[in-house]
Amino acid sequence: MSTSADQTPATTDLVTVTIDGIETHVEQGTLIIRAAEQIGIEIPRFCDHPLLKPAGACRQCLVDVASPGPDGNLRAFPKPQASCTMPVTEGMVVNTQNTSEEAERAQKGVMELLLINHPLDCPVCDKGGECPLQNQAMSHGRGESRFVDVKRVFEKPLALSSEILLDRERCILCQRCTRFSQEIAGDAFIDLQNRGAMQQIGTFNEDVLGFDGYGPVGAAAEDETGNAFSSYYSGNTIQICPVGALTSASYRFRSRPFDLVSSPGISEHDSSGSAIRTDHRRGKILRRLADNDPVVNEEWVTDKDRFAFAWQNLADRITQPLVRKDGELVEASWPEALAAAAAGLTAAIGKTGTPADKKAKGVGVLPGGRVTLEDAYAYAKFARLVLDTNDVDARTRWSSDEEQAFLGASVAGTGLGVTFAELEKAPTVLLVGFEPEDEGGVVFLRLKKSAGRQKVFTVASHLSRGPEKLGATLLPAVPGHEASVVASLKGAKAAYKDLRAPGSIIVVGERAAASPGTLTAVEALAKRAKARVAWIPRRAGERGAVEAGALPGLLPGGRDAAVTAARNAVAKAWGASSLPNTKGRDADAIIAAASAKALDALVIGGVDDSDLTEDLLKAITNAKFTVSLEVRRTAVADAADVVLPVAPPSEKSGTFVNWEGRLRAFGTAIHTDAMSDHRVLDLLARQLGTDLGTATVDAINAELASLGAAATSHRPKAPAEPTPAAPKKSGGTDGELVLATWHQLVDEGALQDGEPYLAGTGRMAVARVSPATAEALGLHGVITVTAKRRGAIDVPVAVTEGMVDNVVWLPTKSPGSWVAQQLGVQPGDTVVVKGAAS
Amino acid sequence: MTDHREESHEAFTSNLPQPGGIAGALMPVAGFGVTLRNFFRPTVTEQYPTTPANVQPRYHGRHQLNRYADGLEKCIGCELCAWACPADAIYVEGDSNTPDAQFSPGERYGRVYQINYLRCIFCGLCIEACPTRALTMTNEFEMAGPTREGLIYEKHDLLAPMEEGMLAAPHPMAPGTTDTEYYTGDVLRTTPEQEAWVRAHRPDDETLPENQPVREGHIPHSEQSGPGTPTPLGAKRFINGTGGGI
């Protein structure tokens, strides 16, 4: 939306070039192949990709080129040139296959050579039907092969990881995958090996390839899983492969391109709002691909966006409402279930008209962080208007009041803030409580694009692989005390000096809420350094929930629920006389209150109890009544009294608000009779005697538009949390360490269920400690981490150089390490670590 | 008015030659000559359905999914037949062969194979498209039934019956072969290794030699289809796919 003058291309550096007799003017440095594209001439190509550096590997784009020599006379190059590597020069004359027989002959020759070793297995190849090589061979190739010898064969397929399969016979060595891995993802785990006919793509793993003395010289890069091609972005190599050499295990042989109906959509997996394409066949999703959206995800998505969709249609999908009868959940009709839900909620809010009303203690609402903007708005409105409470919180993660004030003051209703493009261009980026790769997904790819040109600082316990690939500088912080590190950035500190460069950005993650004072310190630092702040949460619905007011202290548009004028403005728009003015409880407090029987009922959306440190199942048991709006038969749904089925993202339309504040609307991919949360809440409200007006996406968007953003006086005040004292150097002799933890991108989150191939690419769960801590506590092999309550986590220890002492890092929800459920602690809390009993 | 009618009412005179004598006398019953002549010629009238219909060898009848000589399926689930079908009558889903369940030579096999005979127009474009000659057409044409479901033939309805030397899939490929050897016809029957594998994994398999009824010469393979596979309508009536009939 920024249309500043600096984005207008300079018009002074144009060069004149003639392609196929058509004279055109293009910017200096433009490749011939791009200049031809601009005037609608297509030159065949395989290795060329607009987002990758030129390679000239496949030679398919050969054209005849002539350019003026020193004497000004046109001199033709003696042989055809690769148009994907040669920039245009003034006065150049290019003749493509359309006008030059020489170029056409060269291209046909290259095509014939490419097909020499290419197997004739198109009928079994997943790329068959959408294969550039197949298309080009059909349109430009020979009808009959002249090749009579035996083709080179390889073992097929070679599993680069549990998800990515490599068929080396089909490979035409265009190097798109290796260039993507090196340039875009920074995971250079695959590369070209050997020479001549035996040249092939492979991982640096001698056991797999059998190098025969052709092994790589350098040390092989391997992560802790021992799996060489372990990248969060590996799925993109499949999509850009111009042949069927790279395929995915999950889509292998599942269907053919002409079976599929493609629907554009937005990924539900993270707050980036990546554009995706959902390919489905007869109502079943078969694969997802990255869509091209230059302002957000360019042409890349994470493997989670691409492969994690099976959860929507597992066997435990709920299709009919369920009502508890005689202690058992049984299927019921919609009218019956709505009546049962309404009866339970009426009793809980004290509107039955009986003496029991006086004892009614109200309802708490937990929408969960995966809702769309419309769903979050419906939950927020349902809580305030129907249930007459502010006890609504979509943040089913570590959160705080300080965070809510920060979100209300600086995030909600601010529209498009820091963008991907600005993040890419920023001279300095400071990451606070944010892991670009694990928690950001495609955010990392944008930062990686500027690696080397951009200074990156990260406030964390150690340099994880993401920041390491960005060449980031670690500002070591003990978890829970990030605030003091951020506050100390001033004066002559190098990080502060760099941060003062105009356009610098401070990225703060959702984990900052678990560290008191951090968001306050970030705001202060941003003011000091004149830097901008971007809040990047993990889940797709977080920003939308903030905008829609699905937080206890926030009303739609960033209005403070404690400000009377703000409440009245919203009440007027909603046609209500007033809105509840009690202070709302946050998610943890709602669960604690229900557990302590201080709340009568709960309305729960897509919340996974294992993500919470509080015991949600106990709260449901103790609450008199629980309504669950769920896609699947989760533990929460199993414990509820009424379960109303709702649509998964592929079966509904709506809007995710990404971390930039950009509205990412998506349509229904697969039309079923499943209803979105907002529609179900509208029906439920109607049953309770209120017209919620959230039946359709259009109605909600019209309401949201008419409400608009809050006036400054209606907003909450920016947080003013005191910066906590620097961490005391606690002993560590008794094994007490401070916990650092975050979610790895591919882990055991609820939305990654049912996809074993993807799970296999995730990183192994390890506990990280500094060398000094490992030595002091004698940690080696498998260690046991316990906290004050609940279970213990046994994971192998990985001693990490440069890590803060007396801190142990665990992945939040990786196999064998479910921190919230097993330990019941959050980052910054103390855990007890014991080495293997030896 | 009457004048006009009488004018047009002329007596009919044939312009054919008018034979005289005996020929002329027999003229009124000359037509029976054709009948009489055909009394002494072979009968061409078919007494269908009391006797089988005599269709041409390349008649486009019901489809058959063929097998290689060792019993592995030829279908690789490539869906080219479904792509070629102008009536959208074919539905295929492929899947990966695994070492534990090898249905066809190579990596891929057709897990789901359906032909909807309510849609099929028997044009034969599908069998032209088939890259492995897995799909051919038989002379069987008697396909009618009371239900819609019954006319959607599943893979087990369409698979060719087992012949001598075949073992029911899944079982491993013949040792030392690739899908190329199968395609070029170098695999002629099951090997002892394949039999041993089936014996180890499915000792009760009907197609194992020890489980088969005693053979007397060549018995038409129609008797060997397992009891578990429902026999499609009229399946007994086509044999070898060459010129039909009982």
Residue-wise pLDDT for A547-603, tens only, equals 999 999 999 999 999 999 999 999 999 999 999 999 999 999 999 999 999 999 999
Q: Reply yes or no on whether the pLDDT at A247 is more than 60.
A: yes
3 state SS of A391: coil
pTM over 0.80? The answer is yes
Q: How many Å apart are CA B149 and CA B117, to the nearest integer?
A: 10
Mean pLDDT of A287-300: 95
Looking at CA atoms only, how far is residue A171 from chain B in angstroms?
17
Q: How many Å apart are CA B104 and CA B169, to the nearest integer?
A: 8
Q: How many Å apart are CA B81 and CA A330, to the nearest integer?
A: 45
Q: Reply yes or no on whether the pLDDT at A323 is more than 60.
A: yes
Partner A contacted by B107 (CB < 8 A): yes
Partner B contacted by A119 (CB < 8 A): no
Tokens 């003013």 map to which residue? A720
Residue A426 and residue A504 in contact, taking contact as beta carbons nearer than 8 Å: yes
- The DSSP output letter for A644 is E
Residues of chain A with pLDDT > 70, as a percent, come to 94
Mean pLDDT of B66-82: 95
Q: How many Å apart are CA B143 and CA A225, to the nearest integer?
A: 57
Residue A300 and residue A290 in contact, taking contact as beta carbons nearer than 8 Å: yes
Q: Which residue among A123, A156, A258 places its CB closest to the CB of B76?
A: A123
Contacts of residue A372, Cβ cutoff 8 Å, sequence gap at least 6? A541, A544, A649, A652, A654, A655, A656, A676, A677, A678
Q: How many Å apart are CA A496 and CA A500, to the nearest integer?
A: 6
Is it true that the peptide bond before A157 is cis, omega within 30 degrees of 0? yes
Partner A contacted by B83 (CB < 8 A): yes
The string of pLDDT tens digits covering residues B101-133 is 999 999 999 999 999 999 999 999 999 999 999
**Distances from the Cα of A367 to the Cαs of A370, A391, A677, A704, in angstroms?**
8, 11, 9, 18
Which residue is closest to A157 within chain B, CA to CA? B107
Neighbours of B246 (CB within 10 A): 8
Let me know the angle formed at the C-alpha of B113 by B109 and B118, rounded to the nearest 5 degrees.
160
Q: How many Å apart are CA A442 and CA A463, to the nearest integer?
A: 19
Give the A:B interface size as CB pairs under 8 Å: 36
- Looking at mean pLDDT, say which of A3-17, A92-106, A733-747 comes out highest: A92-106
Mean pLDDT of chain B: 84
Q: Which amino acid is at A398?
A: W
Q: Reply yes or no on whether the pLDDT at A348 is more than 50.
A: yes
Mean pLDDT of B67-85: 95
Q: Which residue among B76, B83, B93 places its CB closest to the CB of A124?
A: B76
A620-656 b/e (C-beta count within 10 Å ≥ 16 → b): bebbbbbbbbbbbbbebbebbbbbbbbbbbbbbbbbb
Let me know the angle formed at the C-alpha of A157 by A151 and A159, rounded to the nearest 5 degrees.
145
The string of pLDDT tens digits covering residues A177-199 is 999 998 999 887 788 887 888 88
pLDDT at A725: 67
Q: How many Å apart are CA A509 and CA A126, to the nearest integer?
A: 39
The pLDDT-based confidence of A478 (bands split at 50, 70, 90) is very high
Q: Reply yes or no on whether the pLDDT at A9 is more than 60.
A: no
Looking at CA atoms only, how far is residue A537 from chain B in angstroms?
39
Tokens 């601010």 map to which residue? A414
Q: DSSP string covering A550-594, please?
A: -BTTEEGGGEETT-HHHHHHHHHHHT-S----SPPP-HHHHHHHH
The string of pLDDT tens digits covering residues A76-127 is 999 999 999 999 999 999 999 999 999 999 999 999 999 999 998 999 999 9
Q: Minimum mean pLDDT among A697-701, A789-793, A833-837, B167-171: which range?
A: A833-837
Residues of chain A with pLDDT > 90, as a percent, come to 76
Determine how β-strand A190-193 pairs with β-strand A200-203.
antiparallel
Q: How many Å apart are CA A181 and CA A187, to the nearest integer?
A: 5
3 state SS of A28: coil
Return the structure tokens found at A686. Answer: 């109607």
Which residue is closest to A255 within chain B, CA to CA? B93
Return the structure tokens found at A401. Answer: 């009041």
The pLDDT-based confidence of A153 (bands split at 50, 70, 90) is confident
- Looking at mean pLDDT, say which of A475-484, A753-762, B43-52, B232-241 comes out highest: A475-484
pLDDT at B234: 39
Q: Reply yes or no on whether the pLDDT at A489 is more than 50.
A: yes
Q: Which amino acid is at A196?
A: G
Partner A contacted by B93 (CB < 8 A): yes
Looking at CA atoms only, how far is residue A498 from chain B in angstroms?
54
Q: How many Å apart are CA A203 and CA A193, to the nearest integer?
A: 9
pLDDT at A510: 93
Mean pLDDT of chain A: 90
Q: Which amino acid is at B201?
A: H
Q: Reply yes or no on whether the pLDDT at B205 is more than 80.
A: yes
pLDDT at A354: 87
Mean pLDDT of A445-471: 93
Q: Minimum mean pLDDT among A4-13, A129-138, A788-797: which range?
A: A4-13
Partner B contacted by A258 (CB < 8 A): yes
The pLDDT-based confidence of A250 (bands split at 50, 70, 90) is very high
**Distances from the Cα of B111 to the Cαs of A247, B108, B231, in angstroms?**
19, 9, 19
Chain B residues whose CB is inside 8 A of the A156 CB are 107
Q: How many Å apart are CA B123 and CA B113, to the nearest integer?
A: 18
Residue A354 and residue A656 in contact, taking contact as beta carbons nearer than 8 Å: no
Contact A124 B80 (CB under 8 A): no
Neighbours of B53 (CB within 10 A): 15
CA atoms within 13 A on the CB side of A386: 32
CA atoms within 13 A on the CB side of A527: 9
Q: Minimum mean pLDDT among A18-22, A239-243, A718-722, A780-784: which range?
A: A718-722
The string of pLDDT tens digits covering residues A516-558 is 999 999 999 999 999 999 999 999 999 999 999 999 999 999 9
Q: Which residue among A253, A254, A258 places its CB closest to the CB of B83?
A: A258
Q: Reply yes or no on whether the pLDDT at B242 is more than 60.
A: no
Return the structure tokens found at A292. Answer: 């091209």
Report the run of H or E that residue A379 belongs to, with start and end. helix A373-381
Mutate to test the interface with B, among A253, A255, A259, A286 (most CBs of B within 10 A): A253
Residue A373 and residue A382 in contact, taking contact as beta carbons nearer than 8 Å: no
Residue A763 and residue A797 in contact, taking contact as beta carbons nearer than 8 Å: no
Mean pLDDT of B38-52: 89
Mean pLDDT of A12-40: 93
Chain A residues whose CB is inside 8 A of the B78 CB are 123-124, 128, 256
**Sign of the C-alpha dihedral, residues A823, A828, A829, A833?**
positive
3 state SS of A323: strand
The pLDDT-based confidence of A515 (bands split at 50, 70, 90) is very high
Contact B93 A128 (CB under 8 A): no
Q: Reply yes or no on whether the pLDDT at A787 is more than 90.
A: no
Looking at CA atoms only, how far is residue A454 from chain B in angstroms?
46
Q: Reply yes or no on whether the pLDDT at A726 is more than 70.
A: no
Mutate to test the interface with B, among A120, A124, A162, A284 (most CBs of B within 10 A): A124
The pLDDT-based confidence of A762 (bands split at 50, 70, 90) is confident
Q: Which residue among B80, B95, B131 places its CB closest to the CB of A253?
A: B95
Tokens 């534990």 map to which residue? B100
Which neighbouring-strand residues pair with A364? A602
CA-closest candidate to residue A267, choices A217, A312, A302:
A302
Tokens 């395989």 map to which residue? A46
Number of residues that make up chain A: 838
Contacts of residue A667, Cβ cutoff 8 Å, sequence gap at least 6? A263, A264, A265, A653
Q: Where are the beta strands (DSSP E) in chain B?
A: 63-65, 90-96, 108-116, 135-137, 152-153
Is it true that the peptide bond before B170 is cis, omega within 30 degrees of 0? yes
Chain B residues whose CB is inside 8 A of the A280 CB are none
Residue A749 and residue A811 in contact, taking contact as beta carbons nearer than 8 Å: no
Give me the phi and psi of B112, to 5 degrees please: -115, 130
Give me the phi and psi of A459, to 5 degrees please: -95, 105
CA-closest candidate to residue B163, choices B61, B64, B76:
B64
Contacts of residue A294, Cβ cutoff 8 Å, sequence gap at least 6? none
pLDDT at A353: 86
Interface pTM (ipTM) of the complex? 0.85
Return the structure tokens found at A13. Answer: 């550096």
Return the structure tokens found at B40. Answer: 């002494």
Contact B95 A258 (CB under 8 A): no
Mutate to test the interface with A, among B85, B93, B114, B180 (most CBs of A within 10 A): B93
Mean pLDDT of A36-56: 95
Q: How many Å apart are CA A748 and CA A255, to the nearest integer?
A: 27
Contact A255 B94 (CB under 8 A): yes
Q: Reply yes or no on whether the pLDDT at A138 is more than 60.
A: yes
Q: Reply yes or no on whether the pLDDT at A8 is more than 80.
A: no
Mutate to test the interface with A, among B73, B81, B83, B103 (most CBs of A within 10 A): B83
CA-closest candidate to residue A247, choices B94, B80, B73:
B94
The string of pLDDT tens digits covering residues A608-660 is 999 998 899 999 999 999 999 999 999 999 999 999 999 999 999 999 999 99
**Rg of chain B in Å (alpha carbons):** 28
Q: Which residue among B78, B82, B93 places its CB closest to the CB of A124?
A: B78
Q: Which domains does chain A have, with CATH numbers?
A: 14-115 (3.10.20.740), 120-129+143-312 (3.30.70.20), 322-397+543-714 (3.40.50.740), 413-538 (3.40.228.10), 736-834 (2.40.40.20)
Q: Minimum mean pLDDT among A429-443, A517-531, B210-224: which range?
A: B210-224
